[in-house]
Amino acid sequence: MKPIYIDYLNALDIEALGLSDAEIIGAVEAGLVAQGKGQTVIEPRVHLEPDPSFRGHFNVLRGYVAPLGAAGVKIVGDYVDNYLHALPSEFGILNLFDPRTGAPRAILDATVITDMRTGAVTAIGAKHLAKKSSRVLGHIGARGTAYWNVRLLDHLFDFDEIRVHSRRPESRDAFAAKLAADLGKPVVAVADWKSCVEGADIVVEASRLPEPQPLLKTAWIKRGALVVPYGTMSAVELSLTDIMQKIVVDDWGQCKGGKFGSLRAHVETGRLSEATLHAELGQIAAGHKAGRQSDGETILFWHRGLSLSDIALGKAMLAKAAEQGIGQRLRFA
């Protein structure tokens, strides 16, 4: 047997790559287009909860992207109290394999991949579903994915006003300061949900609640807005789906079942079903379904997170790393 090597990129390697906003969005959208064309296999995520007292769980995501010639498995931990230990809430590893032989091909730190690809899916959703004239962003939550939500959304829309809120004042203030420095524009940290959300053209809810609590009120959503809720625990009212002209998800197979997700109660009560669903985002990105068709449409986009996005972004990182001589090769066999 000839030697088998694994390409390895750690967090420092990925930082050194310096992927641009456009590169991140382009890589992730390629994965969504492949999904919309039926060129992928997605297995619904599974969860491992080691102990309820740890206040966290592992997500295991699996998928195959035919145009990229890659299969992948990502394992990511999601622990709400990690900030108490000065740790990110999520740690992840992405493993890539040759889909024809099963041979391992790469291992990548997936902590920042998770953050980047989540922000990219939020931005791509807005690209297709928000008003082109959107000027005000209201963002709830300040975890790692939140940074990339705001950064990549602003890359596409160049907002006039960005409002952010999270439960802890020190968290939201630091989040706003970092964004302001990186984006070169004011970012306002507000003290409550209503001030953040009311009247915004795009509303992103990425809260970290220990249990479902309807903190985001339907009455605050203005006509024509795009609302993107993706917290692990629901923070929205059941009535939120009643005002939507379109509901879009990233993958219905993942959204229709499982324990977690911001619209879990809406699925369980029949408010969101295959009949009421407008499309998956990949179908829109591939041109098979319509996105926004008028400024008056109020639209909801719920994404649970796709293995396809991790695989697509991981492959893009490996290609750039090969060009730049970044990373390590590990002998496997």
Q: Would you say residue 213 has pLDDT above 90?
A: no
Counting Cα atoms < 13 Å in the Cβ hemisphere of 320 gives: 18
* Cα–Cα distance, 35 to 312 (Å, whole number): 11
Q: Would you say residue 88 has pLDDT above 80?
A: yes
pLDDT tens for 2-14 read 999 999 999 999 9
Neighbours of 30 (CB within 10 A): 20
Counting Cα atoms < 13 Å in the Cβ hemisphere of 58 gives: 11
pLDDT tens for 263-294 read 777 888 888 888 889 999 999 999 999 999 99
Query: Percentage of the chain with pLDDT > 70?
Result: 99
pLDDT at 1: 84
Report which of residues 258 and 303 the model is more confident about: 303
pLDDT at 15: 97
pLDDT tens for 144-189 read 789 999 999 999 999 999 999 999 999 999 999 999 999 999 999 9
Is residue 75 classed exposed, middle or buried when 0-12, 13-18 and 19+ CB atoms within 10 A define those classes?
Answer: middle
pLDDT at 122: 98
Asked if 190 and 165 count as a contact pair (C-beta separation under 8 A), the reply is yes
Report which of residues 208 and 10 the model is more confident about: 10
CA max distance for the chain: 65
